[in-house]
Chain A
């Protein structure tokens, strides 16, 4: 059936901020969908609150709403745009849940909007755990034995029948939120409690444990003619019990017999039909008993998912793109396979290589959390690697995740018998290091059966580790590293570095030797068909095999190095900039993307002209460069846009003779290196906070005394503020350094620290300002000045900020511009520059300068309508700002010189605290600090700050309360500024609860409030609950709690975590509090008005910056209804 002619406009719902379990993969799928729908001539209306996405670039939709994805807001968009259809299957669980709400509330019917891709009934069948079990039964398959409960009593009763351990799984959540394994009644009470809370339907499923079974996934696609194809099978190396998002996985499945595979496929197809997914992709998970072959269906997701993004990248079969086409009426046989250009999409891809996905964790950001892998997903990103065999793919995958501890180490002495025995015990518990521990155990001589018994990992995989060990032994034992040994090592994925470590040689020496033998990888094509048909898509991966497939080319190439796996501090924002570079340069160059993140738009084969799915290490990048140089001229290599990962390769790549575009590696060093940067600032006449460096505790104390407390301490080389702390006194300093050295007692006094620590003067009560700019060597383009809402001291990635700045004077902005220009000039920037300033007592301090794409570049671009990253890529290619201005790429004036009716944009960070719990099973503390912990961000945009802020809160979490009860408990230093906002809340009708100290301040100021008991007071004589009890009971709608003295911290901790668990608004700084009060007032004036980016960009729409002439006196844009 061809495309439906009755559809002319479609509303696509995105997935909102990047959170654990719902990440960049939905930008990839959503972007594909938008592209497809527009190519088909449909009017695309998009809603997504996440500005860091490619899909929210104005050119991907006809009307782009960066608005909160709440049923109310989406209903307003529907009322305004009147789309014919709504497509909710490409925006994760968020989109699906929003669509159900709109359907149930009658909005879809009222505006005659058809849900395409899926229907409410099938969503229910798939997502409602009990209904789904019946589906499975009707399909002649089995589910784990289980019982649905709606209450704690029910849970305890069911537990008696099922026996422990029991798996608890709430309905309608994603990424395993609120689920867990209960080994006893205490566990059960805790997990069921939170499960009942997180489930939108307040029900959880208790299930027979199938821990230790083999876990598989199947990606299926169905069209409206009921044709179904199985796109990919995925096997989890970690057995059932570790969430698939946290498992190391392999595609295709490698330990299934044909009969077993056929059974999974048949059951999968029967289920997709029975559930009634109309068109599009779905994901089904299976467990298979390793000794009986019994198959249990775990769950089904009736939408594209993280795994479908993985399957798409692993096979070259673009599930989301095809799902979008199917949703508007096409059938599989009518869609062409892009990769071959001749065969139809109605087939099942076959792979002649192996794909391995390795999750990336960030437990170090949450020191209080226990680094255990369970049924709740905790990884923040992933890397995929392709190889012609499992060992090659696995080792490439491990080096792709850019975590030095997570790599197979064969150097130095092997673990002794005691250590090996200890490792055998440790590997029974899944953690991020488990596979590394298994490898070390193998090194220490553990037997295959011992490892299989301890971990449940399939013997085939364990045997592959034995194989690696044999190769490592061979490398160690050979008298001479000859071509044969090297070839064998390479065939199994050993890096030059690993080989060098084993042989006591440098990586460079091994590389020289290898090159002398003429040993280089070849590049094979991901072609969906194992070579059966010619491929026309240059989607490559390396392998040490014999025949290369890289095609020669005529145009000069630009290599763009991506950012690797997402992690806290280096997320989707960097991918955004890389994609923009590819788009900006494709007219003049053959763009070549190098990246290893399967979730992203950059690794879509449609994005750049060529794609190399490769780890971002020196060795791998050098080989790609070599292969591309053989194919034609390579004009330049871009390392500035992918964040710290490619940036850290810059100097070595330059030394190897690669043409690095943009800011030179030595200039990058000048900005990153403390001493050199001090010189830069001196030359520019700009102040920085006083600082010193120390290599022992004693020295650190001296430095701190000189500078004066409070100080900010951190190890000398950090990313994303890792290991940073604000220290108020000597005692705290000693404590920090003891933790840093790991040495206790008096020995710590004189011990040398593992790395020097930097001690900075901490600027108290300073306003932090983030700046993004482009410099071409002569001229500066100021892209954006963002004023942080929180004071300096909260990582720029975690604090909310507003643009244009709302309290900075014009002269201050002018000063910021001058300072930025001076730094750009002194450092020698060519391209993007991001600077964080702190304004304290009218002195503008420079905190740091990053001569690279920043996390804020996409936000700034969305807020101003100027595509910064694109312009930066062009500047790096040698164009001047003046030229870009005359070409219309950049506006005549700085982007911040906006018209008076410019919209106000607020960026808010989204934090993952809920997913991390302490060994006691409590959620970790949620207070913000100089260490970045957010996973994503949202943008709220409107005519004024209060509205924009309120929108940002609604988008980031449930939103600010309209009315109800507010609990206030602040640190002493904040008590003075408390009065005004609290009295305003009282005027608005809120009830105020406070702890004794805060209450007495309020009472003395004539503000009525009720005193509540602190958690440390315990329950009252008449059984009155503490504040924590009240929060848990859902009786508090917002909590204001600023952390104060150490003594108060423990109380604060309980309050904040209880609030986080209860999903209520929590405010931990006074600035946030004022903003929140303003936001509450604003949202009480009526429902949010919605406006598309395209409307803002229109003449008079407020973003006059993109026009050559400032628009005066233009009234607000007219909404077309």
Chain B
């Protein structure tokens, strides 16, 4: 039962129970799932019906307690190759009906076992729909999952009060930069697919906490990826004269990422082709002088319609973002506008994509410098892969003009 804390009643907690407490005093009693202990973080929901494993291992969920709106979770177990990174990043998991057994020929472990192995605390058998509606109405809230030794010794509100205090003390993502915690520790290079020896164009990749499939989109297009840690400065990024720069997706509040914003500005100033994805898109927005803001409840799921404004085409895309970039203009949104930074130092920018459900900016394209960004995940092999194609094209045009200008 999800209810206001004051009304939580009932018997003493059993050893397999768990408690979910939200910062606004909402609480729900359920069963412990995965590891027993305590989890804290911003509580978010995702509406994807498949892919709990991809969700949990997505670094963008670092610091978040993730709730799956789909009732059955864990049915196909865990399949290492399908992970978005080497570990589970979500700090906690909320589900309604966890699988009792994995059923898939590729599954290597059960989700439950994997959660325990990675010490991720979960809660099951709660009214996830009621909680989703609550978040929809009240926005993202900090929450805590408590089980095992962290369950209160007394039932009822007085047992929960101290837990509520803990939740209210925990850090929220708004106001927190997380990239550096998630990003690669050292630089490395990936050669283009299929031709390890050939010297393709090189893209400097600022790893803001990306998931592993992101790079495949570059190497699959014949690009060499030189990956740098999130803390890298402009000199490191521009060292070696890259043919393009790519800012990846990642977790955290873009408003706290001034250093990355400065790096982006250096790239724009050098007129090197730039692609931003997710958090990288938000950084481009900031570099151009646009504001970012926290979305009410976030966009998380794989069914989000995004319209490509130049063609009118609707793409069904995967979203996982809690922040967004403020549009540079009011209506009509697709019109280019002067970018605010330093009175238009980087020229004009236009909104290239918007969400059809709430008109949130989902893509930017600079007119006077070679830069573009999208908020959503363009995916690999899907129809939505166009931003990568555009980026690759920008790189080759840029190379061609450079060659041409050198010849002249």
B132 contacts A257, C-beta separation under 8 Å: no
B104 within 8 A of A: yes
A350 contacts B49, C-beta separation under 8 Å: yes
A292 contacts B305, C-beta separation under 8 Å: no
A225 contacts B105, C-beta separation under 8 Å: no
B70 contacts A530, C-beta separation under 8 Å: yes
Other A-B contacts than A546-B1, A547-B133, 11 sampled, CB-CB below 8 A, are A227-B314, A252-B49, A257-B76, A257-B82, A257-B106, A331-B314, A459-B101, A463-B101, A524-B129, A531-B132, A547-B2
Partner of B100, one of A290, A463, A524, A534: A463
Closest chain-A Cβ to B169's Cβ sits at a distance in Å of 28
Q: What interface size band does chain B fall in? A: 35 or more
- Listed from nearest, the 3 A-B pairs whose CB atoms lie closest are A258-B51, A547-B130, A348-B303
Partner of A460, one of B101, B301, B304: B101
Which of A41-49, A322-330, A351-359, A940-948 has 4 or more CB atoms under 8 Å from chain B? Answer: A351-359
B47 / chain A contacts, CB cutoff of 8 Å: 350, 352, 529-530, 532
Which residue in chain A gives the minimum CB-CB distance to B101? A463
B402 within 8 A of A: no
If the complex has contacts A333-B314, A532-B47, A532-B136, are A347 and B356 also in contact, measured as CB distance less than 8 A? Answer: yes
Please, could you name 8 A-B residue pairs with CB atoms under 8 Å apart, sorted by A? A255-B103, A344-B356, A347-B303, A388-B97, A460-B101, A532-B47, A546-B1, A547-B133
B313 contacts A226, C-beta separation under 8 Å: yes
If the complex has contacts A255-B75, A347-B304, A354-B72, are A458 and B103 also in contact, measured as CB distance less than 8 A? Answer: yes
A533 contacts B128, C-beta separation under 8 Å: no
Complex Cα spacing A220 to B319, Å: 21
Q: Mark B6-18, 1 if CB is under 8 A from A, else 0.
A: 0000000000000
B316 contacts A546, C-beta separation under 8 Å: no
Complex Cα spacing A262 to B356, Å: 22
Those of A523-565 within 8 Å (CB) of chain B: 524, 529-534, 545-547
Q: Chain A at the B interface: mostly helix, strand, loop or mixed?
A: loop
A225 contacts B132, C-beta separation under 8 Å: no
Complex Cα spacing A354 to B49, Å: 11
B357 contacts A533, C-beta separation under 8 Å: yes
A258 / chain B contacts, CB cutoff of 8 Å: 48, 50-51, 53-54, 82
- Give the total number of A-B pairs whose CB atoms are below 8 A apart: 154
B357 contacts A531, C-beta separation under 8 Å: no
B82 / chain A contacts, CB cutoff of 8 Å: 257-259
B96 contacts A388, C-beta separation under 8 Å: yes
A524 / chain B contacts, CB cutoff of 8 Å: 129
Those of B61-95 within 8 Å (CB) of chain A: 69-72, 75-76, 79, 82
A354 / chain B contacts, CB cutoff of 8 Å: 71-72
B51 / chain A contacts, CB cutoff of 8 Å: 257-258, 261
Closest chain-A Cβ to B379's Cβ sits at a distance in Å of 8
Which residue in chain B gives the minimum CB-CB distance to A535? B133
A332 within 8 A of B: yes
Q: Mark B113-142, 1 if CB is under 8 A from A, else 0.
A: 000000000000001111011001000000
Complex Cα spacing A344 to B48, Å: 18
Which residue in chain B gives the minimum CB-CB distance to A252? B49
Chain A interface (Cβ < 8 Å from any Cβ of B): 225-230, 252-259, 261-262, 266, 269, 290-293, 331-333, 342-344, 346-354, 388-390, 458-460, 463, 466-467, 524, 529-534, 545-547
B129 contacts A547, C-beta separation under 8 Å: yes
B136 contacts A352, C-beta separation under 8 Å: no
B71 contacts A388, C-beta separation under 8 Å: yes
B72 / chain A contacts, CB cutoff of 8 Å: 254, 354, 389-390
Partner of A347, one of B45, B127, B130, B357: B357
Which residue in chain B gives the minimum CB-CB distance to A464? B100
B129 contacts A388, C-beta separation under 8 Å: yes
B99 within 8 A of A: yes
Complex Cα spacing A266 to B2, Å: 39
Question: Which of A258, A349, A459, A532 has the most chain B CB atoms inside 10 A of its CB?
Answer: A532
B307 within 8 A of A: yes
A290 contacts B105, C-beta separation under 8 Å: yes
Chain B interface (Cβ < 8 Å from any Cβ of A): 1-2, 45, 47-51, 53-54, 69-72, 75-76, 79, 82, 96-97, 99-101, 103-106, 127-130, 132-133, 136, 297, 301-305, 307, 312-314, 316, 356-357, 381-383
Question: Which of B54, B69, B96, B312 has the most chain A CB atoms inside 10 A of its CB?
Answer: B69
B104 / chain A contacts, CB cutoff of 8 Å: 255, 257
Complex Cα spacing A546 to B105, Å: 36
Which residue in chain A gives the minimum CB-CB distance to B133? A531
Complex Cα spacing A347 to B313, Å: 12
B301 contacts A532, C-beta separation under 8 Å: yes
B69 contacts A350, C-beta separation under 8 Å: yes
If the complex has contacts A347-B357, A547-B2, are A333 and B100 also in contact, measured as CB distance less than 8 A? Answer: no
Closest chain-B Cβ to A359's Cβ sits at a distance in Å of 23
A546 / chain B contacts, CB cutoff of 8 Å: 1-2, 127, 130
Question: Which of B2, B100, B313, B316 has the most chain A CB atoms inside 10 A of its CB?
Answer: B316
Partner of B129, one of A252, A292, A530, A533: A530
B297 / chain A contacts, CB cutoff of 8 Å: 532
A531 contacts B69, C-beta separation under 8 Å: yes
B356 contacts A343, C-beta separation under 8 Å: yes
Which residue in chain B gives the minimum CB-CB distance to A291? B105
If the complex has contacts A346-B314, A351-B70, A388-B71, are A255 and B49 also in contact, measured as CB distance less than 8 A? Answer: no
Complex Cα spacing A228 to B384, Å: 12
B50 contacts A257, C-beta separation under 8 Å: yes
Closest chain-A Cβ to B350's Cβ sits at a distance in Å of 19
Closest chain-B Cβ to A330's Cβ sits at a distance in Å of 12
B302 contacts A459, C-beta separation under 8 Å: no
B132 contacts A389, C-beta separation under 8 Å: no
Question: Which of A228, A347, A533 has the most chain B CB atoms inside 10 A of its CB?
Answer: A347
Closest chain-A Cβ to B153's Cβ sits at a distance in Å of 21
Complex Cα spacing A352 to B46, Å: 11
B305 contacts A346, C-beta separation under 8 Å: yes
B103 contacts A463, C-beta separation under 8 Å: yes
Complex Cα spacing A259 to B1, Å: 34
B316 contacts A545, C-beta separation under 8 Å: no
B97 contacts A256, C-beta separation under 8 Å: no
Partner of B106, one of A227, A266, A293, A458: A293
Complex Cα spacing A20 to B45, Å: 42
A344 contacts B101, C-beta separation under 8 Å: no
Which residue in chain A gives the minimum CB-CB distance to B311? A225
B357 / chain A contacts, CB cutoff of 8 Å: 342-344, 347, 533
If the complex has contacts A347-B357, A349-B303, A388-B129, are A257 and B71 also in contact, measured as CB distance less than 8 A? Answer: no
B132 contacts A530, C-beta separation under 8 Å: yes
B129 / chain A contacts, CB cutoff of 8 Å: 352, 388, 524, 530-531, 545, 547
A458 / chain B contacts, CB cutoff of 8 Å: 103
Complex Cα spacing A351 to B72, Å: 11
Which residue in chain B gives the minimum CB-CB distance to A251? B49
Closest chain-B Cβ to A322's Cβ sits at a distance in Å of 13
Question: Which of B127, B303, B383 has the most chain A CB atoms inside 10 A of its CB?
Answer: B303
B45 / chain A contacts, CB cutoff of 8 Å: 531-532
If the complex has contacts A352-B132, A532-B136, are A346 and B50 also in contact, measured as CB distance less than 8 A? Answer: no
Closest chain-A Cβ to B399's Cβ sits at a distance in Å of 31
Closest chain-A Cβ to B44's Cβ sits at a distance in Å of 12
Which residue in chain A gives the minimum CB-CB distance to B125? A491
B75 / chain A contacts, CB cutoff of 8 Å: 254-255, 460
Closest chain-A Cβ to B365's Cβ sits at a distance in Å of 20
A352 / chain B contacts, CB cutoff of 8 Å: 47, 69-71, 128-129, 132
Closest chain-A Cβ to B124's Cβ sits at a distance in Å of 11
Closest chain-A Cβ to B143's Cβ sits at a distance in Å of 17
Complex Cα spacing A353 to B71, Å: 6
Closest chain-B Cβ to A386's Cβ sits at a distance in Å of 11
Closest chain-A Cβ to B158's Cβ sits at a distance in Å of 22
A545 / chain B contacts, CB cutoff of 8 Å: 127, 129-130
Closest chain-B Cβ to A68's Cβ sits at a distance in Å of 41
A257 contacts B49, C-beta separation under 8 Å: no
A353 / chain B contacts, CB cutoff of 8 Å: 71
B304 / chain A contacts, CB cutoff of 8 Å: 347
